[in-house]
Structure 1
Amino acid sequence: MRLHRNLCFAVIDGLTLIFNEGKYADKVIQQLLKRDKRWGSRDRAFVAETTYDIVRWKRLYAEIAEVKAPFDRDNLWRIFAVWATLRGIKLPDWKYFEHTPQRKIKGRFNELTQTRKFKEAIPDWLDELGVKELGTAIWSKEIAALNEQADVILRVNTLKTTKDNLQSLLFDDGIETESIKGYPNALKLKERANVFQTEAFKNGFFEVQDASSQLVAEFLDVKPGMRVVDTCAGAGGKTLHIASLMENKGQIIALDIYANKLNELKRRAKRNGAFNIETRPIESTKVVKKLYDKADRVLIDAPCSGLGVIRRNPDAKWKLQPEFIETIKITQQEILQQYSRIVKPGGQLVYATCSILPSENKNQVDTFLTTDLGKEFTFVKDKSILSHKSGYDGFYMALLEKKK
């Protein structure tokens, strides 16, 4: 591979914003890709994948390069040189790469990767927490899996098309996909591609949604004609899946504290041809109280640490703090207490997170079931998904039924 100056500069500029200014990696990369209209798909892939790669392995590369945050541009070039050297890429004769100790880099890599926190490039506190919650053997496998690049998974929108038809349309666009056993509406891309430019996407034939995430709506066991409330709907990935499973029959009420996310859901619902979704921003407690004992099904896709999805958000490793996890656990229990009251007698509730930590998952459900409100529910089943076993995002979901 030959390095091109303008692409490397884009990566360095992106890393400056992500590491030194705390910007979100996905937003930074979106902006970087608009920088030069002459860039082809390979150029853009280089910028996106190299930036994500260096973000993912920041701690390891910085340790090898012997630099500390905040990183000035010279330090970022040193980190870049480590990335290139470890990939066997010939460094060009640029001033940034003068005196790069390539043999020393390889030696340091071999030495540091004997220790998990460097090998997997994670903060000390996160390594300790993973061991405490999952045990050394499982945590070692799980964090290794969470450092791999995520596959691109599509969810077929059955309101508009079939899996076979979508596969054919994408194949005509030069995009090859394959089915995944156990995931009825999922298609996996054989090679990464910009699926958002396709006519199939513009026509609402699919959404990009990880395979594990697709299991949540299935777990809720919705039927056409039900009243379903998605309490933390966000931009509505799972809401749209529920709409397709309900065949546009019945009512879905999508709640969220962020009105802008619900506006995005409205746009997506229109493209998807999902007409049974009503959005309601939670501007006061009245919004939720009006729904008490009214829903056949309630989904609580709770805010969480997001540790199950760091394959696609590698900068979360550096933004996440232990204090946040303790705070979010309090919020999770409050949400369970409040939103469980929406379920009508005989109805069902799914509590879900994209976390792999038992303290955010099974422990929260167990705690809830011991409370006065929780005693009105019976535990039906739950499912813990770990990346190293599934190959997809880490997730948790629990199904509870309200006593009649």
Structure 2
Amino acid sequence: MEDSDGMPQERRQNQYTGKKTGGAGSRSGQIRSVRQLALEAMTAVMDNGEYCDKVLHRILEQQTGLDRRDRAFLMRLVEGTIERCVEIDYVIDRYSKLPVAKQKPMVRQILRLAVYQIMYMDQVPDSAACNEAVRLACTNHLIPLKGFVNGVLRNVVRFHEDTPYPKAKENLVRHLSVWYSMPEWIVTRFMEQYGPQQTEAILRSFLDEERGISLRCNLSRASKEDIVASLRKQGVTVEEGRLFPNALRIRDYGRLNELEAFEKGWVQVQDESSLIVGEAAPVNEDSVVIDVCAAPGGKSIHIADKMHGEGLIRACDLTKEKVTLIRQNLIRTGFHNVKLKKHDAMEFIPEWEETADVVVADLPCSGLGVIGHKADIKYKTKPEDIRALAVQQRKILKNVYRYLKPGGTLLYSTCTIAPEENEEQAAWIAEKLPLEPVMLKTLLPESVLGECAEKGYLQVLPDLAGGDGFFLAAFRRKEQA
């Protein structure tokens, strides 16, 4: 455990990149407009329940005049504020007479954005963070509250480095919740599953700013050497993946769609942990595969690449928007052996019965393993959602296993680390469906499996590979008597 009595400044010094001078204040007109966009994004995500990635994508598509620096500022401000929201609210409550929970929603978001800048954005002078927050209050019809906003933020500027955080010895769950900005119910759940040390490792990994973005190389489209050379030629920092040789991690890349390797379909954005599905798929160039919840298409494309564009993959998802997203990735990568269908996986398709060699069931889940790059999940997911999702998963599984030929393989996966959706589901599948567990060491290298080599499933924890948490279990349909 970290020093529970250390002051916040001790933790943040290693995250700062420089003294608070210059930076955003020199382009006040542009940055003011970006802060307004950040406020609109925070309102959409934290008050209206929209997803952060979709909101930012929409704003950036609409605001074509933003240069690279403005785009980076907007994304850092919104994503960082959401990521640190539990801690930020704790700090605001220390220095505001009116608790965060009782503040007007827009005032709450203005304060959150400003406090994040004060605590975590070195290039923004404290005075600029305060002044621009007051300006936001005025331009959004909150003039009577500009004094309140200014007063709270001035207190934060003066005193936040000495804020007394909850002590681990007195309340470990509360300490970890504030320190790592995680709702207490999730911390409690992780503590019960993994104990304090593993829990802290998971929480720390969610805040890892060095993780970059993970790419999978489409090796039937280009060699890994050519892909790496192309990325580096465009100034991208490239590192090897940690689990699989066809994975890369990149940073310093600007717009992804401007990279030659992405534009030509040589790479697919896909967290390395999730590559275990495609790597485990026992396919050849004659295989028939059904991917029942396929968007955005990474796993289908991975398997298509593994099949060298041959065979047949049926990729389905619930909405037109999700199917369109898969189609866009297929057009970019150039795979023609994937056929798309808008379909609800809880509805059985009789024509597909016993036609598939492999069924990929990467099902809707609580997403507790992907908080590291989708921080809004920790506020949207509630404890009761996990049981409801487990019920939904079973309904889907009762349908989709029937698509398997006798002897065919079901790959069940999630991006969560909740036992109800993972280990308990694997046990249910083995007990209730005419499927038998497949030892994953027959499908994946032991270097990936580790201590799970002798188990019928693989649980990748967020801290293990520097990426997402992920779960996989494999089953074979029993031969008919």
Q: Would you call these one fold, judging by a TM-score over 0.5?
A: yes
How far is the alpha carbon of 1:270 from its aligned partner? 2.2
| Mapped pair 1:8 → 2:35 | yes
Distance 1:170 1:276, change over 3 A: same
Distance 1:148 1:284 in 2: 35
Q: Any conservation in 1 of the 2:387–2:420 contact (CA below 8 Å)?
A: no
Distance 1:357 1:243 in 2: 29
Q: 1:106: which partner in 2?
A: 161
CA-to-partner distance for each residue in 1:348-380, whole Å, 9 max, x for gaps?
111100011122111111122111x24x42342
Distance 2:167 2:256 in 1: 36
Higher mean displacement: 6-15 or 162-171? 6-15
The correspondence for 1:59, drawn from 86, 94, 119, is: 86
Q: 2:194: which partner in 1?
A: 134
Distance 1:299 1:6, change over 3 A: same
| Mapped pair 1:24 → 2:51 | yes
Distance 1:35 1:348, change over 3 A: closer
How far is the alpha carbon of 1:393 from its aligned partner? 0.5
Q: When the two structures are superposed, what TM-score results if normalisation uses the length of structure 1?
A: 0.91
The correspondence for 1:68, drawn from 96, 100, 110, is: 100
| Mapped pair 1:385 → 2:460 | yes
How far is the alpha carbon of 1:35 from its aligned partner? 5.9
| Mapped pair 1:340 → 2:373 | no
Q: 1:208: which partner in 2?
A: 269
Q: 1:120: which partner in 2?
A: 180
> Counterpart of 1:138 in structure 2: which amino acid?
Q
Q: Any conservation in 1 of the 2:412–2:473 contact (CA below 8 Å)?
A: yes
Distance 1:44 1:286 in 2: 42
Q: 3-state DSSP class of the match of 1:391? A: coil
> Counterpart of 1:13 in structure 2: which amino acid?
E
Q: Any conservation in 1 of the 2:235–2:253 contact (CA below 8 Å)?
A: no
| Mapped pair 1:320 → 2:352 | no
Distance 1:403 1:76, change over 3 A: closer
How far is the alpha carbon of 1:223 from its aligned partner? 1.7
Distance 1:35 1:92 in 2: 30
Distance 1:284 1:139 in 2: 34
Distance 1:58 1:261 in 2: 29
Q: 3-state DSSP class of the match of 1:327? A: helix
How far is the alpha carbon of 1:123 from its aligned partner? 2.2
Distance 1:284 1:159, change over 3 A: closer
Structure 2 alignment gaps of length 5 or more: 1-19, 94-98, 135-148, 169-174, 441-456
Distance 2:85 2:365 in 1: 23
Distance 1:179 1:171 in 2: 13
Q: 3-state DSSP class of the match of 2:411? A: strand
Q: Any conservation in 2 of the 1:159–1:272 contact (CA below 8 Å)?
A: no
Distance 2:397 2:62 in 1: 44
How far is the alpha carbon of 1:15 from its aligned partner? 1.6
Q: 3-state DSSP class of the match of 2:439? A: strand
Q: Any conservation in 2 of the 1:380–1:401 contact (CA below 8 Å)?
A: no
Higher mean displacement: 203-212 or 277-286? 277-286
Distance 1:391 1:377 in 2: 32
Distance 1:161 1:129, change over 3 A: same
Q: 3-state DSSP class of the match of 1:388? A: coil
Distance 1:337 1:380, change over 3 A: farther
How far is the alpha carbon of 1:136 from its aligned partner? 3.2
1:134-213 equivalences under 5 Å are: 134-149=194-209, 150-213=211-274
| Mapped pair 1:85 → 2:146 | no
Q: Any conservation in 1 of the 2:348–2:399 contact (CA below 8 Å)?
A: no
Distance 1:227 1:111 in 2: 56
> Counterpart of 1:201 in structure 2: which amino acid?
F
CA-to-partner distance for each residue in 1:37-89, whole Å, 9 max, x for gaps?
44332221111011101101112101211242464444333323322332355
CA-to-partner distance for each residue in 1:21-42, whole Å, 9 max, x for gaps?
2222112222333565443322
Percent of aligned pairs sharing the same letter: 26
Q: CA RMSD in A?
A: 2.3
How far is the alpha carbon of 1:242 from its aligned partner? 0.6
Q: 3-state DSSP class of the match of 1:154? A: strand
Q: Any conservation in 2 of the 1:16–1:71 contact (CA below 8 Å)?
A: no
How far is the alpha carbon of 1:192 from its aligned partner? 4.5
How far is the alpha carbon of 1:392 from its aligned partner? 0.7
> Counterpart of 1:169 in structure 2: which amino acid?
S
Distance 1:311 1:380, change over 3 A: same
Q: Any conservation in 1 of the 2:346–2:399 contact (CA below 8 Å)?
A: no
Distance 1:182 1:15, change over 3 A: closer
Distance 1:280 1:23, change over 3 A: closer
| Mapped pair 1:265 → 2:329 | no
Q: Any conservation in 1 of the 2:239–2:250 contact (CA below 8 Å)?
A: yes
How far is the alpha carbon of 1:285 from its aligned partner? 7.1
How far is the alpha carbon of 1:305 from its aligned partner? 0.4
Distance 1:181 1:79 in 2: 35
> Counterpart of 2:341 in structure 1: which amino acid?
R
Distance 2:109 2:317 in 1: 39
Q: Any conservation in 2 of the 1:225–1:249 contact (CA below 8 Å)?
A: yes
1:280-359 equivalences under 5 Å are: 280-282=341-343, 288-359=349-420
The correspondence for 1:224, drawn from 273, 285, 289, is: 285
Q: Any conservation in 2 of the 1:305–1:320 contact (CA below 8 Å)?
A: yes
CA-to-partner distance for each residue in 1:217-256, whole Å, 9 max, x for gaps?
1012322211111121123111011100001111111122
Distance 2:477 2:117 in 1: 56
Q: 1:400: which partner in 2?
A: 475
Distance 2:59 2:344 in 1: 35
Q: 3-state DSSP class of the match of 1:235? A: coil
Distance 1:357 1:44 in 2: 35
> Counterpart of 2:473 in structure 1: which amino acid?
A
